Structure 1
Amino acid sequence: MWSILRPEMFSMARLMSDAMTPVRSPTRNASDHLRKMYCSTSTLGLLTGVIASLINLAIENISGVKMLHMVRLVRDKRYWAGFFYFSGFNLALTFVAAVLCVVFAPTAAGPGIPEIKAYLNGVDTPNMFGAPQLIVKIIGSICAVASGLDLGKEGPLVHIGACLANLLSQGGSGRFRLRWKWLRFFNNDRDRRDLITCGASSGVCAAFRSPVGGVLFALEEVATWWRSALLWRTFFSTATVVVVLRGFIEVCRGGRCGLFGAGGLIIFDVGDVTVRYRLGDLLLVTLVGVMGGVLGALYNHVLHMVLRLYNLINDKGRMAKLALALAVCAFTSAGLYVLPFAVPCTPCDPAFGAACPATGRSGNFKQFNCPAGQYNDLATLLHATNVDATRNIFSTGTPGEFRLDSLLIFFAIYCVLGLFTFGIAVPSGLFLPIILMGAAYGRIVALVLQSAVAASIDHGLYAVLGAAALMSGSMRMTVSLCVIFLELTNNLTLLPMTMFVLLIAKTVGDAFNPSIYEIILDLKGLPFLEPKPEPWMKDLTVGELAAAKPRTISLQVVEKVSTVLEVLRNTGHNGFPVVDRPRPGLSELHGLVLRAHLVAVLRKRWFLLEKRRTEEWEARERFSSVELADKNCKMDDLELTPEELEMYIDLHPFTNTTPYTVVETMSVAKAVVLFRSVALRHMLIMPKYQGPEISPLVGILTRQDLRAHNILGAFPHLAKKSKAH
C-alpha cells in the first residue's frame, strides 16, 4: 500500500531540528548544507558507477562462458546437448533471479522507474528503496540479463541509483544505520527526493555513459518538481559516474577483466557509427517516424493487455510467479537456440577481412553452425547480449551484413519476447529491448527502400533512427532520448534527423494512447498527478467536490486523549484540521496536524492533567526531530489506561499553522495545478464568507480526491463532457 510524502517543511519539525542544532549564522548553515550535499552526490555517483561496472562485468563474463561452450557443442554437431546446456543454464539463472524477487524483495521485480516517477510525484511505495531491494536488484539483474531474457539492465540501474540515494540519505538500513549528526539534514522528504532524483539520473548515465542524457532524463521523465539547485546536483553526480566508468574501461582494456571482446564491451558504446545523409532524406525519415509512432503505440496497447493477464497470474501466489518466469525463460531459450538454424549461411565479403567469420563470443559475423568462410547473421543478433546485439545492428558500412528474412525473424521474435518477458518476477528494463526492435525495424526499412529505389542508403543511419522512433513512440521521451543517442553515437550530424524523428513519433504515439510508464502506473494503482488537468475540471469547484465527500473530522487545539484515540482508530486519514475556539460561538482554523505526529504524542504519552496550552520549550525537551520525521503510524501495541484517556493533549506545538488553503469557489482545474506544483499532501477548503455561525472549514482534499476517475465517479454527469473533450 502506497502513502503520500510530506515534502513541505512543517513548522514543528523545523523547530525540533533547530533546537538540536548549534546556533550558527545563516551563511554557515547554508555552506554546511551545500558541502554535505556535494559529499552525498559525489558518493552516490561513485557507488553507482562502481556497481554498474561490476554488473556489466558479471553479465559479460557469465554470458561469455555460456555462449562459448554452447557454440563449441554446436560446432561438434552435438545439437541436443547444446540445446539442453543453453536452456538449462538460462533456466538456472532465471530461477535465481525469480526466487530472489518472489521471496526476499517483491518490489525489486520490474524496472522500478514507474515507482520512482510516482515517488518524485509525491507517492511513497513501501519497501521500494531499501537495502534488500538494492541487493536483489543487483544480483537479480545480473542473472536475468545473462540468462538471455529479452530485457535490459537500464531500468534496474535507475532503481539501483535510487536505492543508493535513499540509503545515503538515511545513513543505511535497519540496525546497521549510521547515526552521524550531519545525516539528520537529509532526514526529510524534500532532501531525500532530491537525492533520489540524482540517483535516477546517475543510473541512466551508468547505463548509457550519457551524463547530460541522464540529467535530462530526470528532468523530462521522472522529476515532478525541478529547480536550478537540483540541476547542478544531478549533473555533478552523473559527472562522477562517467569518471568511474571511464576508469573501468581503461583498466579492463585488452581483455584483463574477463571474457569480452575488443572495444570495451562492459559499457554500451556505439561511437563508431558515422553516417551521411541528404536533405531529400527528410521524407523517408518522416515515414520512419510515423511508422515508429504507430508501432510504439501498438506495442503499448498489447503490453497493457499482457500485463493485465500477468497480474491475474501473479496474484495466485509465489509458485505462480516462479512458474511464469521459468516458462517465459524456456520459451525464450528455445527460440534463441533454434531460430538461427532456420536461415541459410552467408558468405563473408572479402571487405570484412579477418573479422568474418567471428568464432568468439563477440563480433558482427558469428560463424555458429556455418562452414569456414561463412557466417550466420541471425545468430549474430540472437546469440549475444542485448548490448552486443545493439552494437552489431548499429554497425555502418555493412549494407549486406543482414538478410531481410533474418531481420524480419529477429524483429518478430523480439516483439513477441519483449511483450511476454516484461512483467515476470525478475528485475527488467525496457530500454534495450525497444532499441533492438526499433533498430531492426530501421534496417528493414533501409533494405526495402534500397531495393525499391536502387539508391545508396546507410543501414546504420536507419537503424539508429528506427530505434529512436520506436523508443519515442512507446516511451514518449524526446529531449533526453535525443541527447542519449547523440552521446552514444558521438556524431553531431545525426542530431537534426534524430530530433525530427523523435518529435514525429511522439506526436503520432500520443494520438493513440499514453506512454508505457503511464500505463504501468495506472496498472499499479499509483495516484500519479498529471501536469495538465482535464478540460472539464474547470466546470467544477473545490467546494462542490468537498461537499461530495464525507464530513471532515476536525480536532480542537487542546483535545482529550480519548477523542484523539477514537479518531485515529475509526478513520484512515493522514491529516486532521485543528480548530481553535477563542470565544463561544466563534471558530477559527488553527492549522493541520498529521496522523504520524498524533501517534508519536500518544506513544510518548505527552498528556496534560488539565486543559491548557503548553510552552514551546516543553515540546522541545520531549521530542526530537528524528521522532517527528518518523512515518510509523501503527497503533496495534498502544494501550492506554482509563486515567490517561481522560487527560488532554496540546496539539498546537505539532500543528502546521500555515497550511495551503483555497476558497471554495476555486475551480478543480486550478486546484490540481496548485496541488501538483507546490507538492501538497492536503488542501484545506475555506468558505467564501466568514462569520460567527459559519464553519471555518468547508472540507479537505487529498491527491485521491483530485484524480480524474474518482471525480467522475462522484459526478457522473461530467463523463459526457470528458468524452466530448
Structure 2
Amino acid sequence: MSGVGCMNNNREGSSLSTISNTLSAVNSKPRSHSINYVSSDYESLDYDHYESELTVREEKLNGYKTVVASNVIRWLIYFSIAICTAAVGIFIDTVIEYFCNWKFQSIRNCIDVKHSTVECLIIWILFTVIPTLVGCCVVLFMEPSAAGSGIPFVISYLNGIRIPRMTAVRCLLVKVISVVCVCIAGLGGGKEGPLIHIGAMVGGSVVEAWWKGFRNGPGRKVIGPLQNDRERRDMMAAGAAAGLSAAFGSPVGGTLMSLEEGTSFWSSSLMWKVFFCAAIAFPTYNAGKNVLFSNNTSLLQMYCPAGSYNEISSFWLRTQEESIRSLFHYPIEAYSVVPLLVYCVIYFILTELTVGLNMSAGLFLPSLLIGAAWGRIASIVIHYYSPGTIGVDPGKYALLGAAAQLGGIVRATISLTVVFIEATGNVQFLLPLMITLFTAKWTGDFFTDGIYEMQIKLSGVPLLVSEPPPLTSDITTEDFMSDTVCAIPHILMVGKLVDILNTTKHNGFPVVASKVCFCRTRNIEHKCYGLLKGFILRSQLNVILEHNLYLTPLHDENYCTKLELLRKSTYTCHDTQQFQRLKVDEDERGIVIDLRPYMNSAPYIVRLVST
C-alpha cells in the first residue's frame, strides 16, 4: 500500500486559471451570495461503508438471521415512510381546504348577500396578510432552513452533501405551517415542491425514530447495520419520491424524479425500495382525499345575473387545484383571452414576489397554472383564426403549456414526461409532451441554469456537476488540494490526539504507521507521512475520547456497546456543532491509544497525478 502522498505546487499552466476563481471563493464570506460563492460550512456525508475490526466481529457473531431481520426492518421502515408522508400530505390538504372554503365563502356572502364591497376587501386583506405574516414569522424566527421549496437542499443531500437541520422535527413542523399559510393567503406558491422536502424530512425522521426505538434490548443488533449515512440517504430519497407521488399521483414519475434530479448513487435494489415507497404513498394519499373531499365543477357568479358567471373570480376565488382543473377541462367557450392574459401576467408577477419571501412555497403548481393559462390562450387564438380546424381542444393546449412552463423552470425531462402521462392517464400525449419538455429544457439551458441549480449555487453548497469543465485534463489532484493535511499515527498518546482535533477542522484523518504526526502546508517542504494503514472520522475520534473507550480492552462483551456509540456518532452529528474543543484530564493525556480496532483499514486512495 502506498504511503500518504506529498504535494508540491510548482506546476504552472493555463488550465489552473479555470479553477482559480472557484478556489478563491472557498472559505470566504459571501458577497451578497454571488453565484461563484462556495461555503465552507457544508461537509460531505459519510457515504463509504464503515468497516473495521468491530464491524467484522459483529458480522461473525450475529450470523445470517440478523441479516434477514435487518432486511425485514428495512422494508418496514420504507413502508412507514410512505404512510407518514401520505398522512402529512392529507393533513396539509385538509387544513388548506377548510380555511380556503371559509375564506371564499365569506367573500361570496359579502358580495352576493350583503352586497358590501368594502367588507369583502377587508376579509380578502385579512385572509392574505395574516397567513403571510404567520408563515414568514415561523420561518424567520423558528427555522430559517424551512424557507423555499426545499428541493435544492434535497438534491444536495441526495448527492452527498450534509445539510444542517435537514432532518430536524422542528424544521418539518415549520415547513408544514408555512406551506399551509402560503396556500391560504393565495400567494404564488404551491405545496407540491415543499411536499417533496417534507417527504425527505419524514424519511430522515422516521428512520431516526426506528433507531431510537431499537437501541435498547436485543433489537439493537438488528437495527445496527442500518445506522449509517448510506441508509439514511436512501430512505430520504424514498421519502422525496413518496412526496412527489402523493402530490401528483405519479409513483413511477416520483421514482424517476428521485433518480434524474436527486440521487447520484443509484442501484436496482434502491430503485425497488424507492418505487415501493412511492407506490404505497400514492393510494394512501388518494384514499384520504377521496374520503375527505369532493370535486367542485361549478362556475362562480360574482356580481353576475342568473345564467352567467365571472371569469376572473373563477381563477382568484378558488384553490389552485380547482383553477388548474378548470383550465384543463372546461370547454373553449368558458374563458376568453383577456381574462386569461390578465391572470397569466398578474400571477407570474405574484409568483416571482412569493419566491423572494421567507416562506415555504413551491414552484410546481404556479408554473402549471401560468403555463396552462397561456396554453389555453394559444388554443383560443388558433380556434379564432381557424374556426374550421379540427381537434382544437383547449385542455390539450393547456396541458402542453403547463409542461413547457414547468419544464423550462425545473429542466427535468424524462421524469416530468412520466408525471404528466400518469396524471392524465393518456399515453397518446407521450410524444407531444416529450417534444415540449425537451425543447423547453434545451432553450432554457442555452440561457441559464435551472432554478434549482441556481439556488444551490447561491446557497454556496459545494455540489459537483456531473461532468468536469472542458480542457481540464491536465489539472491533477495536487493542483486543487488546499488547506493542511494531518496524518495520525495508529498508536499515539491521548493528549496528542486531543491537540490534533483541537487545532484542525478536518472531518477525517489518514492513519499511518508512524510515531510522529507530520502536518503540511504550501509554505513548507513536504515530507512523507508514513505507510497508510487506514482512515478514521473526527466523529469517531470524538466518541472514543468522550466515552473513554481507550480505557477498556476490546473483547466480545463490550464490542457491541462501542460499535453502537460509534454508529450513533454518524447520525447525531447532522444537527450538532461540527467542531467542539475536547478536554481530558491531565492524568489521561499520557495514556497510549491504539486506533486500529476503530479505523477503516481499506480506505479509498487518490494519487497526486489523478485528474
| TM surpasses 0.5 | yes
- Shift in Å at residue 70 of structure 1? 0.5
Residues 1:378 and 2:312 aligned together:
yes
- In the alignment, which residue of structure 1 is the partner of 2:300? 366
CA contact (8 A) 1:574 1:595 kept: yes
- In the alignment, which residue of structure 2 is the partner of 1:166? 204
- Shift in Å at residue 183 of structure 1? 3.4
CA contact (8 A) 1:184 1:626 kept: no
Q: Equivalences for 1:651-670 in 2 at 5 Å?
A: 651-667=595-611
CA contact (8 A) 2:502 2:580 kept: no
**2:382 corresponds to which of 437, 449, 464:** 449
Change over 3 Å in CA distance of 1:196–1:461 after alignment to 2: same
Distance 1:536 1:619 in 2: 54
Distance 1:477 1:74 in 2: 43
Residues 1:149 and 2:187 aligned together:
yes
Residues 1:640 and 2:584 aligned together:
yes
RMSD: 2.6
**2:280 corresponds to which of 199, 219, 240:** 240
CA contact (8 A) 1:171 1:183 kept: no
Q: Equivalences for 1:675-686 in 2 at 5 Å?
A: none
CA contact (8 A) 2:543 2:565 kept: no
- In the alignment, which residue of structure 2 is the partner of 1:597? 540
CA contact (8 A) 1:167 1:173 kept: no
Residues 1:202 and 2:135 aligned together:
no
Distance 1:483 1:516 in 2: 21
- In the alignment, which residue of structure 2 is the partner of 1:489? 424
Q: Aligned partner of 2:69: which letter?
A: D
- Shift in Å at residue 365 of structure 1? 2.4
Distance 1:110 1:38 in 2: 31
- In the alignment, which residue of structure 1 is the partner of 2:452? 517
CA contact (8 A) 1:111 1:427 kept: yes
Count of residues paired in the alignment: 549
Q: What SS does the aligned partner of 1:590 have?
A: strand
Distance 2:283 2:298 in 1: 29
- In the alignment, which residue of structure 2 is the partner of 1:228? 268
Change over 3 Å in CA distance of 1:586–1:139 after alignment to 2: closer
Change over 3 Å in CA distance of 1:452–1:177 after alignment to 2: farther
Change over 3 Å in CA distance of 1:635–1:440 after alignment to 2: closer
Q: What SS does the aligned partner of 2:530 have?
A: strand
**1:218 corresponds to which of 249, 258, 268:** 258
Q: Summarize deviations over 1:213-261 as a string: whole Å, max 9, x none.
A: 11111111111111001111111112211221342244x2xxxx4xx5x
Distance 1:472 1:162 in 2: 22
Q: Aligned partner of 2:562: which letter?
A: F
TM-score of the superposed pair, with normalisation by structure 1: 0.71
Structure 1 unaligned residues grouped into runs of 5+ = 264-361, 668-725
Change over 3 Å in CA distance of 1:458–1:635 after alignment to 2: closer
- Shift in Å at residue 72 of structure 1? 1.3
Distance 2:578 2:494 in 1: 17
Q: Summarize deviations over 1:83-121 as a string: whole Å, max 9, x none.
A: 111110222222332232222222222111111111111
CA contact (8 A) 1:131 1:173 kept: no
CA contact (8 A) 1:49 1:242 kept: yes
- Shift in Å at residue 636 of structure 1? 4.7
Residues 1:65 and 2:9 aligned together:
no
Q: Equivalences for 1:241-280 in 2 at 5 Å?
A: 241-250=281-290, 252=291, 257=292, 262-263=294-295
Higher relative contact order (CA 8 A, sep 6+): 2
Change over 3 Å in CA distance of 1:409–1:393 after alignment to 2: same
Change over 3 Å in CA distance of 1:641–1:187 after alignment to 2: same
CA contact (8 A) 1:411 1:437 kept: yes
Q: Aligned partner of 2:279: which letter?
A: A
CA contact (8 A) 1:473 1:509 kept: yes
Change over 3 Å in CA distance of 1:543–1:210 after alignment to 2: same
TM-score of the superposed pair, with normalisation by structure 2: 0.84
- In the alignment, which residue of structure 2 is the partner of 1:476? 411
Change over 3 Å in CA distance of 1:588–1:598 after alignment to 2: same
Distance 1:43 1:550 in 2: 43
Distance 1:17 1:558 in 2: 20
Q: What SS does the aligned partner of 2:139 have?
A: helix
- Shift in Å at residue 188 of structure 1? 0.6
- In the alignment, which residue of structure 2 is the partner of 1:530? 465
- Shift in Å at residue 628 of structure 1? 3.9
Distance 2:163 2:278 in 1: 25
CA contact (8 A) 1:48 1:241 kept: yes
Distance 1:560 1:505 in 2: 61
Q: Equivalences for 1:179-190 in 2 at 5 Å?
A: 179=216, 181=220, 182-190=222-230
Q: Summarize deviations over 1:448-492 as a string: whole Å, max 9, x none.
A: 233333434211111000110111111111111111111111222
Distance 2:205 2:55 in 1: 20
- In the alignment, which residue of structure 2 is the partner of 1:83? 121
- In the alignment, which residue of structure 2 is the partner of 1:303? none
Residues 1:626 and 2:592 aligned together:
no
- Identity, % of aligned positions: 30
Residues 1:574 and 2:513 aligned together:
no
Distance 1:497 1:150 in 2: 27
- Shift in Å at residue 170 of structure 1? 1.3
Q: Summarize deviations over 1:389-448 as a string: whole Å, max 9, x none.
A: 11011125x112111111111111111011110132222111000111111121122222
